[in-house]
Amino acid sequence: MNRSQFELAKPILERLIQHGYEAYFVGGSVRDFIMNRPIHDVDMTTNATPDEIETLFEHTIPIGKEHGTINVVWNHENYEVTTFRAEAEYVDHRRPTEVYFVRDLYQDVERRDFTMNAIAMDIHYQRIDHFEGERDIEQRMIRTVGDAKTRFDEDALRILRGLRFKSQLGFTIEDATFEAMSHQMADLEYLSIERIMNELRLLVNGAYIAETLPLLHSLQMWRYIPYFRDIDVETMVLNTPIDIESFLAILSYRTDHQAFKPLKLSNVQVRTIQTLVSAIQSAQTIATRTQLQQFVYDFGIDVALKINALRPVLEDNQIHIASPVILNGAIIQNVWSDLPIQSRQDLAIDGQLLMQAFQLKGGPWIKEVLRRVECAVIQRQVNNQTEAIIEWVRTHVKIS
Ligand code: ATP
Ligand code: MG
């Protein structure tokens, strides 16, 4: 097992302990460590209060101080150190109204979602496992800490997290946990779309998405999430993990539904999805090398390769792009490096030069002519040289 990340963070726990506090590693990193999976964030928990944590370390950032989380910057790395806390009353099936700090580790792990996420580990790699999380990891089982119904009632995001962990880890959801999940799916309606999308992003990209997606369909999960509730997601098949933008692109292509607004995606995400949708469309009509050149030029190498990589998923969903004889990774690379220009910036002419050459004012004609020129250059009907292009335009394009 790879201890290196814990070793790097260990001095933080040691300093807390030297000052008389209890301090442990906890959460996803301990779970992943036990499973011998790659560890990302090493999270720590302590009975020191946020103020006390701040006085012990030179460089801290109060990222979630009111909830007990302080970022400790150690050797240029950020570590989240969270005070043992319990959660007061929940309203509206999401996040507690109040948290309060406690001095006892048990209370802290008791409020965590699943047994596999409630294991603490000390600096000697000894585990404190109040809810038999290690047994559940061994049995590959997702089980809530305490009564599933109550825990999902408190925070419906846990339902989605449970499904997300199934998709990432391939575990079975324990019976009572699954039973509660299936009865409480409708509570997803209480959650903010940001929290939902964050889980969905991880979920569709999970190694075990192939077996998890049918489960989501049968739980009728999509009925409770904006955007998805309006379209047919149930017929979607995923045999391999996929990024959320590709997932949404395929869905919106299939259903012709691009009203993503309720999902509160970033502008970059929306643009990525729109590009993918038009690339999926174009990739179906490529039949010649010229068309392939145009496709690779219009979308760029990265999108072209991505569409090619998505081929199996597209096929599984009855979208048939050009055959691998015409469209494959090697040919795309080849076409790309052979292109006389790779973007409009490479063109030896621009709007200014056109206006001068033809003694005309600016207007929509410029855009049209530039597009014609672009295509002609790519198809090697004209060399990418200013004079040659002007001459070609004179003889080939009727400027209106
Ligand atoms: P990942 O490996 O994806 O980071 P994680 O389990 O570490 O998974 P985080 O969102 O980083 O998930 O949360 C850290 C820990 O906080 C979890 O392991 C769990 O103990 C606890 N936790 C997170 N979200 C909830 C929740 N909604 N309800 C209860 N406990 C939670
Ligand atoms: Mg984590």
Residue 383 vs residues 192, 337, 390: alpha-carbon distances, Å: 54, 16, 11
Q: Give the 3-state secondary structure of residue 118.
A: coil
Triad 113, 117, 118: Cα angle to 5°: 85
Select from 69, 112, 115, 201 the residue to mutate for testing ligand 1; criterion: most ligand atoms less than 8 Å from CB: 112
Element (H, E) at 91: strand 90-91
165 Cβ contact partners less than 8 Å away, ≥ 6 residues apart:
114, 116, 142, 171
Residue ranges of domains in the chain, CATH in brackets: 1-139 (3.30.460.10), 140-229 (1.10.110.30), 344-396 (1.10.246.80)
Which amino acid residue places its CA nearest to atom 24 of ligand 1?
A: 113
- CB of 174 shorter than 6 A to ligand 1: no
Residue 339 vs residues 227, 330, 359: alpha-carbon distances, Å: 40, 14, 31
- Find the 128 Cα to ligand 1 centroid distance in Å: 17
User: Can you state the angle between helices 209-218 and 157-169, rounded to 10 degrees?
Assistant: 150
Dig out the tokens for 281 from the structure.
């469309």
Q: What is the pTM of this model?
A: 0.92
Which amino acid residue places its CA nearest to atom 21 of ligand 1?
A: 112
Q: Give the 3-state secondary structure of residue 111.
A: coil
Yes or no: say if 267 and 273 are a contact pair by the CB < 8 Å rule: no
Can you say which residues are annotated as belonging to the binding site? Answer: 28, 31, 41, 43, 112, 155, 158, 161, 164
Cα(146)–Cα(158) distance, integer angstroms: 13
Digit-by-digit pLDDT tens for the chain (400 residues) are: 689 999 999 999 999 999 999 999 999 999 999 999 999 899 999 999 999 999 999 999 999 999 999 999 999 999 999 999 998 777 777 777 778 899 899 999 999 999 999 999 999 999 999 999 999 999 999 999 999 999 999 999 999 999 999 999 999 999 999 999 999 999 999 999 999 999 999 999 999 999 999 999 999 999 999 999 999 999 999 999 999 999 999 999 999 999 999 999 999 999 999 999 999 999 999 999 999 999 999 999 999 999 999 999 999 999 999 999 999 999 999 999 999 999 999 999 999 999 999 999 999 999 999 999 999 999 999 999 999 999 999 999 998 7
Cα(260)–Cα(215) distance, integer angstroms: 24
Which amino acid residue places its CA nearest to atom 5 of ligand 1?
A: 28
Residues facing residue 64 across a β-bridge: 69
User: What is the torsion angle, in degrees rounded to the nearest 10, for the CA atoms of residue 321, residue 324, residue 326 and residue 328?
Assistant: 100
End-to-end CA distance of the chain: give it in Å, rounded: 71
Amino acid identity, residue 378? I
- CB of 117 shorter than 6 A to ligand 1: yes
Ligand 1 atom closest to the CA of 43, numbered from 1 = 14
Cα(117)–Cα(142) distance, integer angstroms: 10
Summarize pLDDT for 164-204 with one digit per residue, the tens: 999 999 999 999 999 999 999 999 999 999 999 999 999 99
- CB of 226 shorter than 6 A to ligand 1: no
- CB of 199 shorter than 6 A to ligand 1: no
Select from 33, 93, 113 the residue to mutate for testing ligand 1; criterion: most ligand atoms less than 8 Å from CB: 113
- Find the 113 Cα to ligand 1 centroid distance in Å: 7
Cα(40)–Cα(29) distance, integer angstroms: 7
